Amino acid sequence: MKKLALIGECMIELNGEPFGNMRQTYGGDTLNTATYVARVSSPDDIEVSYVSALGVDKLSEGMIAHWQSDGINTRWVLRDEERSAGLYLIQLDKQGERTFLYWRNQSAARYLLQHPDYPKVLSALKKVDMIYLSGISLAILPETDRTLLLEQLREWKKSGVEIAFDSNFRPKLWESLEQAQQCYQALLPLVDVALVTFDDESLLWGDVDEQATIARLSVFNIPKIIVKQGRLGATICEKGTQHFVPTIPVEQVVDTTSAGDSFNAGFLAGYLQNKPLKICCQQGNQLAGIVIQHKGAIIEKSATAHLRALFNER
């Protein structure tokens, strides 16, 4: 069995029209990925653990219950008696593209590394096969904690843990472009699997196309680079060899909120079973293609239930 640990923040989600019909659920980039990996993987093959902090309120209790029902191990979700989960609001346009409003400055996850029980998690993570995090996982932390997490990732890497990273750049979470760039440059030499979105890379680095992104990331000797290109597909670069994997068009895009996160989930579900990277990307495209036809970051389990058997054929 492979052990995957995902570090990040899950928030309460409000989805709908302001002053109209609003749906309350939850979501967060790393939690979205954790959920979909757990849903499409056999629990005998991949153990999915989430690493975060929540409060002790009813909403936090409900979120953890839902995660457990999806097959996520929550023993490394620490409970903060002084803080609770952050909140975000999604607004959609007619094309399914979204804008966000956030209330997260005092969320429990922001202070994960300062929790008195965090040293236990720190020790346990040396024994997993892969740690996955995103640019948001880093951005939400106080600067000193961010630096500390980078040091801890170096130690986990020395222990043989693979590091997977989705750059997922959100400008409003950083003090400046330069601060984000410096942080990413410190992390990228540790990364084994880079799962980046071209639009984010262009925004952060000014890349003009996916080849510019691949060339820049290759400087860090990242073994496996996957550049997501939205509805077009994804480009793989492994040991200098590139392959483009196109998507299968969907009839109607309803909500792109978790497109990249679900792609990552399908990819990682294949990667941790040692499937070829092309197959991993095809799984990512297939899963994301289903998710974007529904509202919300985490859709009904029934919509993806058939993928577990499909992705785990022997």
Note whether 290 and 265 are within 8 A (CB).
Answer: no
Residue 29 vs residues 11, 79, 221, 279: alpha-carbon distances, Å: 10, 20, 25, 22
Nearest alpha-carbon partner for 197 in 148, 261, 141: 261
Residue 79: strand pairing partners: 54
Note whether 262 and 36 are within 8 A (CB).
Answer: yes
Catalytic residue among 29, 80, 207, 261: 261
Question: What pLDDT does 102 receive?
Answer: 83
Element (H, E) at 174: none
Q: Cα–Cα distance between 259 and 261 in angstroms, integer?
A: 6
Question: What pLDDT does 305 receive?
Answer: 94
What does the pLDDT profile of the chain (314 residues) look like in tens digits?
Answer: 999 999 999 999 887 666 777 778 898 999 999 999 999 999 999 999 999 999 999 999 999 999 999 999 999 999 999 999 999 887 766 665 667 788 888 899 999 999 999 999 999 999 999 999 999 999 999 999 999 999 999 999 999 999 999 999 999 999 999 999 999 999 999 999 999 999 999 999 999 999 999 999 999 999 999 999 999 999 999 988 999 999 988 888 888 888 999 999 999 999 999 999 999 999 999 999 999 999 888 999 999 999 999 999 76
Note whether 112 and 143 are within 8 A (CB).
Answer: no
In this structure, the chain runs to a length of: 314
Residue 83: is it exposed, middle or buried by C-beta count within 10 angstroms (0-12/13-18/19+)?
Answer: buried
Note whether 249 and 231 are within 8 A (CB).
Answer: yes
Question: What pLDDT does 255 receive?
Answer: 81
Pick one of 3.90.1300.10, 3.40.1190.20, 1.10.1060.10, 1.10.1740.10 as the CATH number of 2-8+28-85+109-312: 3.40.1190.20
Q: Which residues, in sequence order, are CB contacts of 65 under 8 Å at separation 6+?
A: none
Element (H, E) at 67: helix 58-69
| Catalytic site includes residue 70 | no
Residue 4: strand pairing partners: 48, 130
Note whether 274 and 296 are within 8 A (CB).
Answer: no
Nearest alpha-carbon partner for 293 in 302, 303, 301, 283: 303
Question: In this structure, are strands 98-103 and 87-92 parallel, antiparallel, or unpaired?
Answer: antiparallel
The contacts found for 170-173 with CB under 8 angstroms, 24 or more apart, are: 170/135, 170/136, 170/139, 171/203, 172/102, 173/136, 173/139, 173/140
Residue 46: strand pairing partners: 2
Question: What pLDDT does 125 receive?
Answer: 96
Note whether 117 and 127 are within 8 A (CB).
Answer: no
For the chain, domain boundaries: 2-8+28-85+109-312
